Amino acid sequence: MNKTTTIAAVLLTLAAGASAQEQVLNLYSARHYSTDEALYANFTKATGIRINRVDADDAGILARLKAEGTASPADVILLVDAARLVKGEQDGLFKPVKSKVLDDAIPAQYRSKSTAEGTSWFGFSTRARVVVYDKQKVQSADVDTYEELADPKNKGKLCIRSGSHPYNLSLFGAVTEHLGEQKAEAWLKGLVANMARAPKGGDTDQIKAVGAGECQVAVSNSYYIARLLRSDKAEDKALMERVGIVFPNQSSWGTHVNIAGGAVAKNAKHEANAVKFLEYLASPEAQNYFANGNNEWPTAKGVKVNNAALQALSGGGDFKAETVPLAAVGANQVKVQQMLDRVGFK
């Protein structure tokens, strides 16, 4: 083999390596839903881009990105809470994206504020924070607003998970946006006064506590309820016969919704693949995976889904969702945590 042939062989090897490298996407995901496997497999089938995935919770992912710094292999970050997405943006962990596909598909209220550099994160699915109540002991009219959860008429009736959990922080951040800080803190104090027990467990535990008579009112993300509605287990069917569901504030600002969303990592090594993946998540096909796989509502404009549990949950039709920008909700996280500490909400 002469010198020219050797150089050519080396160049071909390097080119092949570069080509292979381009067909990879490193994903850090807080979405721990087995149904998402089909979502990722379909993307790889359509594009040839192989996904390497690391699973952790939202806080763990953000902490890992900080620790790894410029050495981080992450290309795409998927988180399941608006406040965490805002936190990642504030900490400079995301790379702004310029994509007409994403800007056209995702409404402004479900993404970060755009700048000259682009948009830092996008929401791809929503879940509503609804009220669950014991139909034998509570009238729906007494719990059809978030404000009423703090009313003395519901004293000793409320079950809820930790106030510091991201799902509650976002709800409380939204209420703060609507009511103002002073009234929101008074409302949180009322929630504490109305608790049937100290906060504990997850959302499903709150629903089951209502069914068991441990309390009479609870708050839950909608997809936990949809899972129970789709269950074939006798105990789940009996539970859902006993409890009622309310989408709060339909006569005022609308029910609070939170998002699962994604961003390109600041130090992404495969940026083009990362943008392609985010654009894929906004496609009708992927949006239907979110709806039918994990009972979430799609955010992309014009996407219609056929999920019987979601239809049953919302009374067979659409519900009024709040329109406050989720970026503003997430930005309230610190002040909300301070209020929780002051009113003794653990």
What confidence tens digit (pLDDT) does each residue in 314-343 have? 665 678 999 888 888 888 989 999 999 999
Q: Can you tell me the distance from the alpha carbon of 111 to that of 212, in angstroms, rounded to the nearest whole number?
A: 39
Domain range 128-254+320-343, CATH architecture: 3-Layer(aba) Sandwich (3.40)
Which residue stretches of 69-133 are H helix?
82-90, 100-105
Is 214 within 8 Å of 196 (Cβ atoms)? yes
pTM of the model: 0.82
Q: pLDDT, tens digit, for every residue of 222-270?
A: 989 988 988 999 999 999 999 999 999 999 999 999 999 999 999 999 9
167 is in an annotated binding site: no
pLDDT at 315: 64
Q: Can you tell me the distance from the alpha carbon of 191 to that of 186, in angstroms, rounded to the nearest whole number?
A: 9
Burial status of residue 170 (CB atoms within 10 A of its CB: 0-12, 13-18, 19 or more): buried
pLDDT band at 22 (very low <50, low <70, confident <90, very high): low
pLDDT at 307: 74
C-alpha distance from residue 228 to each of 40, 142, 310 (Å): 25, 24, 11
289 is in an annotated binding site: no
**128-254+320-343 matches 24-125+257-313 in CATH topology:** yes
Residue 301, phi then psi, degrees to nearest 5: -60, 135
Contacts of 311 (CB under 8 A, 6+ apart): 317
223 is in an annotated binding site: yes
Domain boundary assignment for the chain: 24-125+257-313, 128-254+320-343
Task: Tell me: pLDDT of 289 over 50.
Answer: yes
Q: pLDDT, tens digit, for every residue of 103-149?
A: 999 999 899 999 999 999 999 999 999 999 999 999 999 999 999 99
The CATH T-level fold of domain 24-125+257-313 is D-Maltodextrin-Binding Protein; domain 2 (3.40.190)
- What's the mean pLDDT when you consider all of the chain? 90
pLDDT at 211: 96
Q: pLDDT, tens digit, for every residue of 37-69?
A: 888 999 999 999 999 999 999 999 999 999 999
